[in-house]
Amino acid sequence: MSSGPQLRRAFRRTDDYTPDTPKLKLVEEPLPLPLSPTAALVRVHAIALNYRDANIANGGNPWPVLPNGILCNDAAGEVIAVGEKVKALAVGDRVAPVTDTENISGRELGRSWLAADEDGVMADHIVFEQEKLCKLPSYLDWTAAATIPCAGVTAWSALKGMSIGQTVLIQGTGGVSVFALKLARAAGLRVVLSSSSDAKLQSMKEKYGSPPLLTVNYAKNPNWHEAVLELTDGVGVDIVVENGGTGSLVKSMKCTRRGGIVSQVGYLGKQNPAELAELIPTVIDRRVILRGINAGSKYDMEDFCSALSASQTPLDDLIDSIWKFEEAEEAVEYIWQGKQIGKLVLRVRVG
Ligand SMILES: NC(=O)c1ccc[n+]([C@@H]2O[C@H](COP(=O)([O-])OP(=O)(O)OC[C@H]3O[C@@H](n4cnc5c(N)ncnc54)[C@H](OP(=O)(O)O)[C@@H]3O)[C@@H](O)[C@H]2O)c1
């Protein structure tokens, strides 16, 4: 190891939440070496951004974050060194860490989210214990593979249990939503997509035109749930990928069929518990199953990667744009302003 890299470049948060001030600082710092006997050193090739990153950088995370921690939880890279007891991985393997590093099988009691409880992955090198790293599908390039751990695994978990012919309501055109749309299409589900923007809906209709995408503008139509009911002959959808939180949850339930599932993924917009006044009567009346989604375990991620490899689902089309590593600050701001359709990815070039 002594001949390998000893330093890394990383973006750490400034923790200055004043508008129009930098949210990130590029630092050069020693790598956490020597490697433990069961750890691997990974050269990062691509990092995907999520709403969560912009929210954390702007001080909005509902859970505690490490002071001046490294941002981001999605990275794809290659193993360049392993500890002497590592058996599951070898130099050259293409890997990504799981987002909640305490959630390996799904039965663990603890939680530890990258970029919150511990440093994230917005760096050119990262070190993880072997059990926290998942092998990535070989058919995907680095930028597409980087989108898997958070948005991909979340969409996978949110749609679990669906079968061909069922209808899903997907809210918004962000990273999780576009991933969910692609998975829904691969699984033969009918999709109702909502957005605040007619232009975004039009662009998605053109991109995913066959079979025709059903769409609703939730910003123009405050009673969008009634529009969703109309689109489903008054029955409601089988499942919702719920992104809004308090502002949309009750409406989502009202347009879910009796006995259907609402997968609660997001909490976009200002969260106000007063908006949940009708929650209990609605959940009882419609017999809705409310399912909390917390990305997924490493086993979920492995299942998802197997499904992707089997279906060879292309992921390039869910990438909005690819940015340089050095443009991290601008990229986070772009997400914060909600300008993207799908995923923003940073390409990391190691000098
Ligand atoms: N639970 C988990 O495990 C998990 C994992 C990943 C993400 N999340 C959460 O899921 C949400 C989406 O994440 P993301 O990374 O996909 O975000 P993103 O890429 O930033 O996308 C957000 C999109 O959602 C739409 N949107 C905004 N406000 C909305 C509202 N009030 N109701 C419905 N849609 C709204 C907008 O689409 P339009 O412009 O088309 O309207 C926006 O572009 C976030 O709250 C994130 O924190 C949760």
Which residues sit with their C-beta closer than 6 Å to ligand 1? 50-52, 150-151, 154, 171-177, 195-197, 200, 218, 243-244, 247-248, 265-269, 293-295, 335, 338, 340
Alpha helices in 269-326 (DSSP H): 279-286, 298-311
Rounded to the nearest angstrom, the distance between the alpha carbon of 218 and the centre of ligand 1 is: 13
The secondary structure of residue 294, as a DSSP letter, is: -
CA of 180 to the centre of ligand 1 (A): 12
Query: Closest Cα to residue 122, out of 13, 36, 35?
Result: 13
Please classify residue 284 by burial: count the beta carbons closer than 10 Å to its beta carbon, then call 0-12 exposed, 13-18 middle and 19+ buried.
exposed
CA of 82 to the centre of ligand 1 (A): 36
- How far, CA to CA in Å, does 269 sit from each of 15, 57, 156? 21, 16, 23
One-character DSSP codes across 246-285: GGTHHHHHHTEEEEEEEEE----S---GGGGTTHHHHHHH
Question: How do 74-82 and 39-49 pair as beta strands?
Answer: antiparallel
- Cα separation, 254 vs 231, in Å, equals 13
Say if residues 186 and 209 touch (Cβ distance below 8 Å).
no
Q: Which residues contact 321 (CB under 8 A, 6 or more apart)?
A: 340, 344, 345
Measured in angstroms, how far is the CA atom of residue 151 from the centroid of ligand 1? 10
For 197-236, letters b (16+ CB in 10 Å) and e give: beebbeebeeebeeeebbbbebeeeeebbebbbebbeeeb
Task: State in Å: Cα 248 to ligand 1 middle.
Answer: 12
Sequence-distant (≥ 6) Cβ neighbours of residue 202 within 8 angstroms: none
| CA-based nearest residue to 166, from 284, 256, 287 | 256
Give the number of the atom of ligand 1 that is nearest the alpha carbon of residue 247.
31
Looking at residue 204, the DSSP 8-state letter turns out to be H
C-alpha–C-alpha distance, residues 283 and 209, integer Å: 33
Atom of ligand 1 nearest to the CA of 179: 16
What pLDDT shows up at residue 301?
Answer: 98
Ranges of each domain in the chain: 7-147+315-347, 153-292
Q: How far is the CA of 86 from the centre of ligand 1 (A)?
A: 37
Ligand 1 atom closest to the Cα of residue 200 is 40
Per CATH, the homologous superfamily of domain 7-147+315-347 is Medium-chain alcohol dehydrogenases, catalytic domain (3.90.180.10)
Ligand 1, pocket-test mutation among 47, 50, 74, most atoms within 8 A of CB: 50
* Four-residue CA torsion sign, 300, 303, 309, 310: negative
Per-residue pLDDT of the chain (351 residues; tens, 9 = 90+): 557 899 999 999 999 999 999 999 999 999 999 999 999 999 999 999 999 999 999 998 888 899 999 999 999 999 999 999 999 999 999 999 999 999 999 999 999 999 999 999 999 999 999 999 999 999 999 999 999 999 999 999 999 999 999 999 999 998 899 999 999 999 999 999 999 999 999 999 999 989 999 999 999 999 999 999 999 999 999 999 999 999 999 999 999 999 999 999 998 878 899 999 999 999 999 999 999 999 999 999 999 999 999 999 999 999 999 999 999 999 999 999 999 888 999 999 865
The whole-model pTM stands at 0.94
Rg (C-alpha) for the chain, rounded Å, is 20
CA of 129 to the centre of ligand 1 (A): 30
**Residue 64: Cβ within 10 Å count:** 8
Kindly report the protein residue whose alpha carbon is nearest to atom 11 of ligand 1.
Answer: 266
Beta bridge partners of 270: none
Closest ligand 1 atom to residue 335 Cα is 20
Assess if CATH 3.40.50.720 describes domain 153-292.
yes
Amino acid at 1: M
Pocket test for ligand 1, best of 61, 99, 176, 250 (most atoms within 8 A of CB): 176
Instruction: Evaluate whether 224 touches 231 at the Cβ level (below 8 Å).
Output: no
Q: How far is the CA of 217 from the centre of ligand 1 (A)?
A: 15
- Contact at 8 Å (CB) between 256 and 240? yes
* Cα–chain center distance at 171: 14
What is the 3 CA–ligand 1 centroid distance (Å)? Answer: 43
Q: Tell me, what's the pLDDT at 268?
A: 86
Look up residue 189 and give its two tokens: 């589900």
Q: What is the pLDDT of residue 63?
A: 84
How many angstroms separate the CA atoms of 349 and 351, rounded? Answer: 6
Ligand 1 nearest atom to the CA of residue 173, by list position = 40
Atom of ligand 1 nearest to the CA of 264: 1
